[in-house]
Chains A and B, each alone.
Chain A
Amino acid sequence: MALPTYASTPQVIWYYTFRGICALIFFFLIAPILVIIPLSFNAENFFTFTPEMLSLSPEGYSTKHYEDFFNTSDWQQAMWNSLKIAPMATLLAVSFGTLAAIGLSSEHVPFRRAIMAVLISPMIVPLIISAAGMYFFYSRIGLQGTYLGVVLAHAALGIPFVIITVTATLVGFDRSLTRAAANMGANPVTTFFRVQMPLILPGVISGALFAFITSFDEVVVVLFVGSAGQKTLPWQMFIGLREQISPTILAVATMLVGISICLLTVVELLRRRSERLRGMSPG
């Protein structure tokens, strides 16, 4: 990527402009996230950098907002709700999404593009529309305001991610492997769990991560479909922003960023491991 010696003046100008643009993009993406981290350690109950903080004196910093998070029952309840909803929604999204992707990638399924479009639609349709639709539908069948209702709604939002990542993995999947397994006497269920599933695992894992994060971060649908009993972390943050502007939100946000980074790292490591087992790279 180094600038070649024969570069003309416009090329030199573009070379530096391009780098400048990239730097700006990264700055706008990351700065808002980075700035909340020091703010969450604010000793005051404000969203601003106090003079003590700017002079880096220890009195300007404290962990009181973190203590507040762990000692407030509202926040604790919200966290447990999120931790109950997201894994279930992920489990459902992964099971249905994987099955759908496998079904839709076999050639003899009629209208597979149309079916695919319908299943992907929660990703494309504005969230508020899905949320309103789900609200009316779930009210009719008695799911509105229930744990199951929120889980189902979040699973529906997560399925497109799983379908897309698993479909992408299936493109490289050699169909003769399932034939070989059948030929050796394995029934379709054994073939699925012993041969197909291990090989598409990287896609399934990535899809699961996206589905989990979707549910964990989601605020619009849960506001419509859930009730006070299903108040999730994002919902509590939303309330916190509206009603009492407390830096506790920043502490929660910082922790969520930390969790996201950990999750991403773990999942990426898992994905690489299973990709290696898949024999894509020797070693």
Chain B
Amino acid sequence: MADTDSSDAFVAFERVQKSYDGETLVVKDLNLSMPKGEFLTMLGPSGSGKTTCLMMLAGFETATHGEIKLDGKPINNIPPHKRGIGMVFQNYALFPHMTVAENLAFPLEVRKIPKSEREEKVKRALDMVQMGAFGGRRPAQLSGGQQQRIALARALVFEPELVLMDEPLGALDKQLREHMQFEITNLAHSLGITTVYVTHDQTEALTMSDRVAVFDDGRIQQLAPPDQLYEAPQNSFVAQFIGENNTLIGTVKSIDGEFCKVQLEDGEVIDAKAVNIGEVGTKTQVSIRPERVEYNRERMAEGVHTLKAEVLEFIYMGDIFRTRLRVAGKDDFVIKTRNAPDQVRLKRGEQIEIGWLPSDCHALDA
């Protein structure tokens, strides 16, 4: 997998494996390197090993094999309290018996920072998350969003170079979550800290990150910037996991450099980009994004292959139209079109022809 050179990486996982019971590997051969200042998200379904990776980086789990390096130095044998990594926990983990200010002062106290400097830093950190007036309160007196901000301020107050976040927005409602996503990325970039963010929410991953590592089955399936991840998935797991996708199953008929022809199960042939396929004759899963499918003949490029489709359902969603079609025997093929003045509104039962650019259609592993 394409990666930055690990010699100048700030955080590096080298051939890391983790097993809890000595039999099954939760993390299989993980290689990852992050430059300083990057916002990287580990995205994956639960049980994919992403949280385990974060815990290994924080020092709460030890790697069974391999090496984790921070700023060039191996940290496998350094206990968590000597790593100097900030962390925001899923349930915030604020100390309930301390006030907000005491919570923030805690990491500074254990570092033996003098009182006046401590107060200065606590104040600055609280102002940074717009919670300056709440220093005297206890965590139980704050709302979820406010506790979230305090947890964030506490992870940043001792100025760590690396901050880990374990699904920090999971417990917030949608609106607050979107707002906090924006705030966290802003803060991370303006302070220039390196951030590892774990989430299972793909929207969060796409909107916040510089790069996203998609985890499944203990491996990184793809590590790429959000746009590449969405537009050029490397395998069918990534294509399915990120955003909505239409898949068609077929066999590779011919390969011509970057592109290939795929014969679908009902005999029709389509053009696709050969991303991750075997030899001619092997099975492939073709994936096309719903918004890249076109049914207006005038808008299609010259000479593209088209498929016959029957409209099964037309859903008006305001900004877009969502149409469900029967294509090549499958009746869960979805297309999305923008609600533009000249856009055709399809009707149920209508027979249409659909097409797309071969570069938008990815032939992946089956």
Decide whether A and B assemble into one complex. yes
Chain A contact residues, CB within 8 Å of chain B: 174, 176-177, 179-188, 190-191, 194-195, 198-199, 274, 277-282
User: B86 contacts the other chain (Cβ, under 8 Å)?
Assistant: yes
Cα–Cα, bound, A186→B138 (Å): 21
A187 / chain B contacts, CB cutoff of 8 Å? 81, 110
- The verdict on A282 contacting B141 (CB below 8 Å), with A176-B91, A179-B89, A185-B158 known, is yes
- The verdict on A183 contacting B58 (CB below 8 Å), with A190-B110, A199-B97, A278-B97 known, is yes
B106 / chain A contacts, CB cutoff of 8 Å? 181, 184, 186, 194
What is the total number of residues of chain B having a CB less than 8 Å from a CB of chain A?
30
- The verdict on A180 contacting B89 (CB below 8 Å), with A185-B84, A279-B138, A282-B141 known, is yes
In this complex, which of B84, B91, B95, B106 has the most chain A Cβ atoms within 10 angstroms of its Cβ?
B95
- The verdict on A195 contacting B91 (CB below 8 Å), with A181-B106, A185-B81 known, is no
Question: Closest CB-CB distance, A140 to chain B, in whole Å?
Answer: 43
Known: A187-B110, A190-B110. 17 other contacts (CB 8 A): A174-B91, A176-B90, A176-B93, A181-B81, A181-B106, A182-B59, A182-B80, A183-B58, A183-B83, A185-B111, A186-B81, A188-B81, A191-B81, A198-B97, A199-B97, A279-B138, A279-B139
Cα–Cα, bound, A174→B93 (Å): 8
- The verdict on A177 contacting B93 (CB below 8 Å), with A182-B80, A186-B81, A187-B81 known, is yes
B140 / chain A contacts, CB cutoff of 8 Å? 279-282
B95 / chain A contacts, CB cutoff of 8 Å? 177, 180-181, 195
Cα–Cα, bound, A177→B151 (Å): 12
- The contact sample of 12 A-B pairs, CB cut-off 8 A, is A174-B93, A176-B90, A177-B93, A180-B94, A184-B81, A184-B154, A184-B158, A185-B111, A195-B95, A198-B97, A279-B139, A282-B140
Cα–Cα, bound, A184→B87 (Å): 8
Cα–Cα, bound, A195→B95 (Å): 7
A281 / chain B contacts, CB cutoff of 8 Å? 140
B interface majority secondary structure? loop
- The verdict on A180 contacting B87 (CB below 8 Å), with A174-B93, A186-B81 known, is yes
Question: Closest CB-CB distance, B100 to chain A, in whole Å?
Answer: 11
Pair A180/B93 contact, Cβ less than 8 Å:
yes
Question: Closest CB-CB distance, B61 to chain A, in whole Å?
Answer: 11
Pair A199/B81 contact, Cβ less than 8 Å:
no
User: B132 contacts the other chain (Cβ, under 8 Å)?
Assistant: no
Cα–Cα, bound, A182→B85 (Å): 10
In this complex, which of B83, B87, B89, B97 has the most chain A Cβ atoms within 10 angstroms of its Cβ?
B97
A174 / chain B contacts, CB cutoff of 8 Å? 91, 93
User: B79 contacts the other chain (Cβ, under 8 Å)?
Assistant: yes
Pair A185/B107 contact, Cβ less than 8 Å:
yes
Question: Closest CB-CB distance, A210 to chain B, in whole Å?
Answer: 23
Pair B93/A279 contact, Cβ less than 8 Å:
no
Chain B residue with minimal CB distance to A188?
B81
Cα–Cα, bound, A180→B93 (Å): 6
- Shortest beta-carbon contacts, A-B, top 9: A279-B96, A184-B107, A180-B93, A279-B140, A176-B93, A182-B80, A186-B110, A182-B81, A183-B87
Question: Closest CB-CB distance, A275 to chain B, in whole Å?
Answer: 10
Pair A179/B60 contact, Cβ less than 8 Å:
yes
Question: Closest CB-CB distance, A182 to chain B, in whole Å?
Answer: 4
Cα–Cα, bound, A182→B110 (Å): 10
A185 / chain B contacts, CB cutoff of 8 Å? 81-82, 84, 107, 110-111, 158
In this complex, which of A184, A187, A191, A194 has the most chain B Cβ atoms within 10 angstroms of its Cβ?
A184
- The verdict on A179 contacting B81 (CB below 8 Å), with A184-B106, A282-B140 known, is no
Cα–Cα, bound, A193→B81 (Å): 15
Question: Closest CB-CB distance, B273 to chain A, in whole Å?
Answer: 44
Question: Closest CB-CB distance, B96 to chain A, in whole Å?
Answer: 3
Cα–Cα, bound, A199→B90 (Å): 20
A181 / chain B contacts, CB cutoff of 8 Å? 81, 95, 106
Chain B residue with minimal CB distance to A279?
B96
> Chain B 124-159, CB within 8 Å of chain A: the 1/0 string?
000000000000001111000000000000100010
- The verdict on A199 contacting B141 (CB below 8 Å), with A176-B91, A179-B80 known, is no
Pair A176/B89 contact, Cβ less than 8 Å:
yes
A277 / chain B contacts, CB cutoff of 8 Å? 97
B91 / chain A contacts, CB cutoff of 8 Å? 174, 176
Cα–Cα, bound, A188→B60 (Å): 13
B86 / chain A contacts, CB cutoff of 8 Å? 183-184
Question: Closest CB-CB distance, A189 to chain B, in whole Å?
Answer: 10
Query: B138 contacts which of A188, A198, A199, A282 (Cβ < 8 Å)?
Result: A282
Cα–Cα, bound, A198→B138 (Å): 15
B107 / chain A contacts, CB cutoff of 8 Å? 184-186
Chain B residue with minimal CB distance to A176?
B93
Question: Closest CB-CB distance, B295 to chain A, in whole Å?
Answer: 51
Q: Which of B141-190 contact A (CB under 8 A)?
A: 141, 154, 158
B96 / chain A contacts, CB cutoff of 8 Å? 199, 278-280
- The verdict on A183 contacting B80 (CB below 8 Å), with A279-B138, A279-B140 known, is yes
Cα–Cα, bound, A279→B139 (Å): 7
A280 / chain B contacts, CB cutoff of 8 Å? 96, 140
Pair A182/B79 contact, Cβ less than 8 Å:
yes
A282 / chain B contacts, CB cutoff of 8 Å? 138, 140-141
Cα–Cα, bound, A221→B96 (Å): 42
Query: B97 contacts which of A176, A180, A190, A279 (Cβ < 8 Å)?
Result: A279
Question: Closest CB-CB distance, A187 to chain B, in whole Å?
Answer: 5
Cα–Cα, bound, A190→B60 (Å): 17
A195 / chain B contacts, CB cutoff of 8 Å? 95
